[in-house]
Structure 1
Amino acid sequence: MNFDLPDLRAFVAVAKLGSFRAAAEELHISQPALSRRIEKLEDALGVRLFHRTTRKVDMTTVGREFSHRANELLNSLEQSLMGIRDVAAHVSGEVTIACIPSAVRYFLPGFLRIYHERYPQIMVRIIDQGANEVLTTILRNEADFGLNYIGTQEPDLEFEPIMKEPFVVACRLEHPLARKKKVTWSDLTSHEYMSVTKASGNRFLLDLALTDNPERPRWYCEAQHVSTLVNLVEAGLGVAAVPRLSMPPDGHPTLISVPLVEPAITRTVGLIRRRGRPLSPAAQQFYDLLFALAPKAKKRKTAAR
């Protein structure tokens, strides 16, 4: 039939994004060039794939059916290429990951480095957002998958746990708490304490766990993201309770993580994706990499000092 792979990719992009303009931007071509590809594909198939108006683009019944087949075809082709070691360096594509900020600085870079070494031609976009925003991004199909600690109750999402991590006290090496083997929540009441805002999912977890705890620290400074708290701690402005994932590995020249107990509070971090929506081969490779290696990262980061 008189169409080629770029025509098929153009159709899949418009079907996914529901917009010729957005699809053209994603494929890095002009909108007229994209329209020509769609018209070429429609002429070759002898059917209309989209209903076009000045305001929106909708797929026809035939278009919706063909969309499933086109995705299967492209995924099968790309998966075949991914599996061939000799051509892996030449496979191109894009992967978009929505990720909580606490996992961006110290956790994700190691996986990104491995992935880039295997597939140097694949571009990776990281959208660092709060937990609730990550959920919204995945539900809107604005990212292939996400890294989050909430989402288990969402019927339209699949949540695959990859690690369970504790909250720890973040402090500088010269701070009095740094010399302790463990710190209780009541110990924090006598120090300058900082916290994330009530809009943060981490704050919700902490407040819920400390509901019946009469000795809880009062914060003097709030920040929206855990990563900002860690920066403030490093600047010497106080201490904070943060997920272990947001802290550097042992041996950092400035910061240290001290176990936080009475009560010990944990959160489960997992991979989230739209239920029933297949990942592209490029995204599936990154997803599988995180799933396979994350438990090892957990053991390394939470090992007793």
Structure 2
Amino acid sequence: MLHRLEFLDLQAFILVAELGSFHEAAQRLHLSQPALSRRIQKLEEILEVELLERTTRRTRLTPIGTDFLPRARRMIEEYESSILGIRELATHQKGTVTIACIPTAAFYFLPSVIRGFSEAWPGIRIRILDVSAKEGLERVISGEADFGINMFSAQSPEVSFTPLLKDPFVLALRSDHPLVDKPRIEWSDLEQVRLITVSRDSGNRILLDNTLSAEGIRLNSFYEVQHLSTSLGLVESGLGVAILPRMTMPGADHDSLRARELPKPRIQRTIGLVRSNSHSISSTAQLFIDMLLERWGNSACT
């Protein structure tokens, strides 16, 4: 309330200064002259200075009042521009949507949605935090990200999860590897080859290890990298094979990489939309979520 009264007091001061008359300013503001005088007096008390000299014939600015007038105008302009900014946000003319997304899903899910979203709301910026599953979850929980695209295994009671797509794991091979043309891949085929894996704290690695351990399957994890893209680079160099989500693989027309289906037990991850249970979603972010669900929401069971 205090800030609102100060704003109105500033308006009153500016109008009196511009018109040089309490009478005319009171009429413009639809106030009585005593009410207008109280506003000016209150402003002077807050600032602890005299802004106006009042005589029976005219009103003029004191030297301090002359210095303060352009500052008061800037305060009004800043206030009005901030109100305009809020209106632009409310009408989705401006704003930022921040998405915490695991890197592989960023390439798969987001480009088509961003393209349509930017055409519909060109003034809204998109900020993508391409981070690990664990870090992405933390960004959503902290409120740094409006929402996330993450794995189902990386969950917390502090978020809700909406599935978007099931992503099976495949065997990544170089095109000249002996297993490329084998009619059917068995787990026993992979016991002696060098397996390129991601670090043990990766959500993908945890999912893979847990599934194989439950079935008593032991593979030769020879190389360990931090990122799935690095493991593909090593596969392409002929250093080994990798088991990774199909989403991470390049297209079928890639010159040197091939994907083969794995035997049972089938390993797959569920990718979905992650929202905080404690932070409300901005209307701008909700627009993006609606478009994302419209594009991918029917793919959760595929």
TM over 0.5, shorter chain: yes
Q: Distance in 2 between matches of 1:127 and 1:271?
A: 14
Q: State the one-letter code of the partner of 1:163.
A: L
**Could you tell me how far 1:140 is from its partner in structure 2?**
0.8
Offset of residue 253 of structure 1: 2.9
1: CA distance, partners of 2:292 / 2:214:
36
Work out the CA distance in 2 between the residues paired with 1:104 and 1:251.
21
**2: CA distance between counterparts of 1:104 and 1:180?**
32
1:285 and 2:287 matched: yes
The equivalences for 1:114-129 within 5 A come to: 114-129=116-131
Q: Displacement of 1:181 after TM fit?
A: 5.3
Mapped to 2, the partners of 1:95 and 1:205 lie a distance apart of 30
Give the structure 1 partner of residue 190 of structure 2.
188
Instruction: Indicate conservation of the 8 Å contact 1:159/1:270, yes or no.
Output: yes
Q: Which runs of 5+ in 1 are unaligned?
A: 4-35, 42-69, 83-90
Counterpart selection for 1:263 from 257, 265, 269: 265
Query: RMSD over aligned Cα, in angstroms?
Result: 3.1
CA contact (8 A) 1:95 1:124 kept: yes
Contact 1:168-1:243 within 8 A present in 2 as well: yes
1:1-305 alignment to 2 at 5 Å?
Answer: 78=89, 81=91, 91-150=93-152, 153-180=155-182, 182-294=184-296
Counterpart AA for 2:231: L
- Paired residue type of 2:97: V
Deviation at 1:116, TM superposition (A): 2.8
Aligned residues: 227
Provide closer, same or farther for how the CA distance between residues 158 and 236 of structure 1 changes in structure 2, counting only shifts above 3 A: same
Name the TM-score, length of structure 2 as normaliser: 0.65
Q: Quickly say closer, same or farther: Cα 1:179–1:291, change in 2 above 3 A.
A: farther
Q: 1:253 to 1:210 in 2, by over 3 A?
A: same
Instruction: State the shift of 1:175 in Å.
Output: 2.2
Superposed displacement of residue 97, structure 1? 0.7
Work out whether residues 163 and 270 of structure 2, in 8 Å CA contact, stay in contact via their aligned partners in 1.
yes
Matched residues in 1 for 2:287 and 2:182: separation?
42
Structure 2 SS opposite 1:228: helix
The structure that has the greater radius of gyration is 2
Distance 2:212 2:153 in 1: 22
Deviates more, 1:231-240 or 1:204-213: 231-240
Do the aligned residues in 2 keep the contact of 1:184 with 1:263 (CA within 8 Å)? no
CA contact (8 A) 1:151 1:272 kept: no
The amino acid of 1:110's aligned partner reads: S
Structure 1 counterpart of 2:279, one-letter code: R
